[in-house]
Amino acid sequence: MWGPEGLDEVEAELLGPPEELKGRAVLEIGAGAAQCARWLAAQGALPVALDISHRQLQHALRIGGPFPLVCADAGALPFADESFDLACSAYGALPFVADPVLVLKEVRRVLRPGGRFVFSVTHPIRWAFPDEPGPEGLTVSSSYFDRTPYVEQDEQGRAVYVEHHRTLGDRVRDVVAGGFRLVDLVEPQWPSWNSSEWGGWSPLRGNLIPGTAVFVCERD
């Protein structure tokens, strides 16, 4: 699943036709509980699920799956050059790092020539709107161009949650600077069957503005 709209890989085929995933080595970045790796393994692919959070990987372990889990930072991948055919990330790592080009360069390094990296992030336009599912989430409240990160701190003033904003142009330049060719940029429309509200996500907002941007990139 690429995002809260509900666009799934069976429908989107952004990593290629499912029948061609069989036997391919796929790196999932920012895997969380490794939902994508689990689906990939069911297609016959050979996924590796990577996340910086040990706790997230404990959830992945509890749910289970026939693939390795790796606790590491997406900006310092513990793999040899050209070890994967494909890489994917659904809202993993890239929205949360200050230096997305570093991550993209690392992913490029571990992909074989011609390999695809497909990643989804919050659509940059969302930055300008309050993160509310109702009508209050439809009025611009801050500048789309303000790259100051969103930071939540604990009582000691330590950052416990950070989100970095990149404009759409920034993201395209990052992809190119990371050594990729941008093949497609998918902005999933909110489907009529999806009536769920989740955080700032809702049919009301989803019918009017995009919520997710999926970048389909290829290593030249």
Q: Which stretch binds ligand SAM (CB under 6 A): 87-95, 158-166, 189-197, 201-209?
A: 87-95
Stretch 12-31: interaction string toward ligand SAM, x if CB under 6 A:
------------------xx
Q: Which stretch binds ligand SAM (CB under 6 A): 72-80, 140-148, 168-176, 186-194?
A: 72-80
Total site size for ligand SAM, rule CB under 6 A: 17
Contact criterion met (CB below 8 Å) for 30 and 51: yes
What are the angstrom distances between the C-alpha of 102 and each of 31, 181, 207? 18, 16, 34
The CB-of-92 to ligand SAM minimum distance in angstroms stands at 4
What distance lies between CA 94 and its chain's CA centroid? 6
Residues 190 and 203 sit within 8 Å (Cβ to Cβ): yes
Q: Please list, in sequence order, all residues whose beta carbon lies within 8 angstroms of the beta carbon of residue 51, skipping any fewer than 6 positions away.
A: 30, 31, 32, 34, 57, 60, 69, 70, 71, 92
Joined tokens for residue 138: 């439809």
- Does 194 engage in binding with ligand SAM (CB under 6 A)? no
**11-19, 67-75, 111-119, 199-207 -> range binding ligand SAM (CB under 6 A):** 67-75
Closest distance of CB 189 from ligand SAM, Å: 19
Which residues contact ligand SAM (rule: CB under 6 A)? 30-32, 35, 51-53, 56, 73-75, 90-93, 96-97
